[in-house]
């Protein structure tokens, strides 16, 4: 028991990036599922995606790493690949948010509400 405790403490203190990822994913999903307001749902979607972005960027990190630019002397550098991937994913996320907000504007102008439950009643009538 005592022998394993430092290891767990070690995990707790060194992997906080991953805890942040899990917390962000959780908050995002919770907002997506539970919030009745459509705009807040979209914000939840963004938080959820940000959690994933953070996860990829954490993967790229090397402690003491330099930017991935070739210089004299070299040394460790962070992996550029996840950064590039996330740049793409951010673009995708922005487009999705734009489409979602455009749809919300249209829903609001047609139904006059952003509350999901009210909308559901109007929608199925």
Name the residues that contact another protein, by CB under 8 A: 25, 29, 32, 38, 41-42, 45, 48-49, 52, 55-56, 59, 81-82, 85, 88-89, 92, 95-96, 99-100, 103-104, 106-107, 110-111, 119, 123
CB 120 within 8 A of CB 107: no
The token duo for 97 is 């948010």
| Nearest distance from C-beta of residue 109 to another protein, angstroms | 8
Q: How far is the CB of 2 from another protein (least distance, A)?
A: 26
Residue among 9 and 99 whose Cβ is closer to another protein: 99
Which lies closer to another protein via its Cβ, residue 27 or residue 107? Answer: 107
Question: In terms of CB distance, is 1 or 69 closer to another protein?
Answer: 69
Q: Please write down the long-range contacts of 108-111, taking CB distance under 8 Å and 24 or more positions apart.
A: none
Alpha-carbon distance of 29 to 95, in angstroms, equals: 19
Phi, psi of 32 (to 5 degrees): -60, -45
- What is the closest distance, in whole angstroms, from the C-beta atom of residue 56 to another protein in the complex? 5
- From residue 119, how far is each of 30, 37, 67, 102, 111 by CA, in Å? 20, 10, 49, 17, 7
> Smallest distance, Å, CB 49 to another protein?
6
């Amino acid at each position: 028991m005592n022998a394993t405790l430092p290891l767990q403490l070690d995990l707790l203190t060194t992997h906080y990036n991953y805890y942040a990822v899990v917390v962000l994913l959780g908050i995002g999903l919770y907002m997506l599922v539970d919030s009745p307001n459509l705009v807040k749902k979209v914000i939840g979607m963004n938080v959820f995606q940000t959690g994933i972005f953070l996860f990829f960027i954490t993967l790229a990190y090397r402690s003491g790493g330099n930017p991935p630019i070739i210089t004299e002397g070299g040394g460790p550098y962070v992996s550029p690949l996840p950064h590039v991937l996330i740049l793409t994913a951010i673009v995708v996320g922005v487009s999705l948010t734009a489409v979602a907000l455009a749809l919300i504007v249209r829903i609001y102008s047609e139904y006059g509400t952003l509350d999901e439950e009210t909308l559901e009643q109007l929608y199925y009538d």
